Amino acid sequence: MNAPPAGWHDASACLVDGSGNVIAYSEQERHNRVRHAIGDGFNKPTAAARFCLEQAGITVDDLDTIAIGWDIDQMFPGFFADERELASHATGFDFPGRLPEIVLVPHHRAHAASAFYASPFSEAGVLVVDGNGENESTTIWSFSYDREPERKYGLPRTASLGYAYDGASEWLGFHHLDAGRTMGLAAHGRARGLVVETLVDTDGDGLRLAIPPLPENDGRATIDEIGSHYGATVTAWRELYAKLAGADRPTVPADRLTEDPAAVLVAYTAQRLIEDAVTSLAATARRLTGVAELCLAGGVALNCSANGLLPGPLFVPPVPHDAGVALGAAWSVRPPRRPGGAISPYLGEDVRADGVGPTAAQGLVRTGFDPDRVTDLLLDGQVGAVAQGRAEVGPRALCHRSILAVPDTTAVHERVNRIKHREQWRPFAGVTSPQYAGTLWERQEHLSRYMLGAARVTDEARRVAPGVVHVDGTTRPQVLAPGTAPAVEAVLAALAGRGAPPVLLNTSFNDRGEPLVNSAADALAAFRSMDLDFLVLDDALYRRTPGGR
């Protein structure tokens, strides 16, 4: 689990069996509909855990172990009277009878396990980069199925690349958990050929940041110390960006940030810091572990632009951020016995389990799903959504909870951003079949499986799919593996059958500030609240009646 008191955002729960097979996995935000599950009373993964138990047909009494992806005893010494109180606080469940074994897995160890055991590799180095764990912000690990994981390298909390990026996001007026907006804005700096300050020295194996690490105790850090260090370090970075920009904040609102040279400068400066540092750390990981195969985890591994610069073989799991430590903690206790290929991300709630009654569908016309009919709508310029099968885990929509459009013009990019109430400078990703991917963008062996690496597009992509080409000439592609998302796969095939390019704009099915839709009820509610033209829900196609909402 990723659970309080340490896991205060992106709470999640994962259930594995005795052989390490994943039975169910879900993020709390998908159930309570509060993005990142932030807020007093919202950040316990109770609903996510309950979903996992129900999926397996068991109760808490059947659990052998509860693994939490933080060393809570270190961070909150003496906070809990006993393990029963800790278990109840973390999960929100009562344990009146037998208490499962409680295992506290160090945060970076859990991150690393979530990446390696989700990968197809039998041996790999793992680079973990995030805001902070208990005592570190960056670690390098050596993993193999033949031996225990080994920590090879570490940087302290206040040498945090995550903190450095947070400082830029906060200067821009964003929440630090919304750093994807900073990354999207940074591309405008790259496209303009900005020359920016280099804020990291990457000579040798170490990193020397422009903001030196604060003095830290060599011993075990408490949550108060971590909070104090975070505030001081992020403030120092924010002040540095202000000095470089010559301003304390942007001069325009968020939807016009591309018009503010200082805002673009700050975003691109922070992005280059991450790219330079991660490129150096990846090389260090390969040298220290002696293997070419590399996995990434931690919140910084969501930085698709940085990931896309790294040479392969490279794997990033669908949940590299803090929600992923639920999986990594479970696998630290019950690891898979052998590589099983890259993990399926479709481990959440199934829309087929949530029947749609006549009241929920009032004002809508329901017909059976027909890929040819959906293709007609898309080729006519309509924008729709799909909610089919089990929800994907992680922040990227992977065609089970997606908004779709034909990206043959830049106008569709503008319309989808309006539908999602986003800034017009925000980019979109494309999805296509394995057979067509090489004609659109650079091939990526694993990153395009979960839409976690930027790739440079081809001239053909600029011609046939300008709606998914970002200003710097990249996109964040998804290559859809056969049999993983039947509705979208059928539409791509239908497009090809018509002689149209089999590529779609694919973005998350959610309105601004909301998590991805989870249940059928969520999908219908989001469809009604957004200016979408149609909805594929399980095996049905829903459209509005005239005047219907």
474 in Cβ contact with 305 (< 8 Å): yes
- 271 exposed, middle or buried (CB, 10 Å; 0-12, 13-18, 19+)? buried
298 in Cβ contact with 111 (< 8 Å): yes
Question: H-helix or E-strand containing 516?
Answer: none
124 in Cβ contact with 143 (< 8 Å): yes
CA distances in angstroms from 544 to 355, 465, 517, 533, 534, listed in the order given: 19, 28, 19, 7, 7
**For residues 194 and 266, what is the distance between their CA atoms, to the nearest angstrom?**
11
Regarding beta strands 384-387 and 401-405, do their DSSP bridges make them parallel or antiparallel, or are they unpaired? antiparallel
Q: Is the dihedral of CA 536, 25, 420, 188 positive or negative?
A: negative
454 in Cβ contact with 307 (< 8 Å): yes
CA distances in angstroms from 317 to 188, 350, 441, 451, 468, listed in the order given: 27, 21, 21, 10, 23
Catalytic residue among 9, 108, 229, 413: 9
User: What single DSSP character describes residue 274?
Assistant: H
Question: H-helix or E-strand containing 244?
Answer: helix 223-245
Q: Is the dihedral of CA 491, 496, 499, 504 positive or negative?
A: positive
146 in Cβ contact with 111 (< 8 Å): no
SS3 string, 161-188, reads HHHHHHHHHHHCCCCHHHHHHHHHHHHH
Q: Quick check: helix, strand or coil at residue 48? A: helix
**For residues 87 and 57, what is the distance between their CA atoms, to the nearest angstrom?**
21
**For residues 263 and 184, what is the distance between their CA atoms, to the nearest angstrom?**
12
9 annotated active-site: yes
The residues assigned a catalytic role are 9
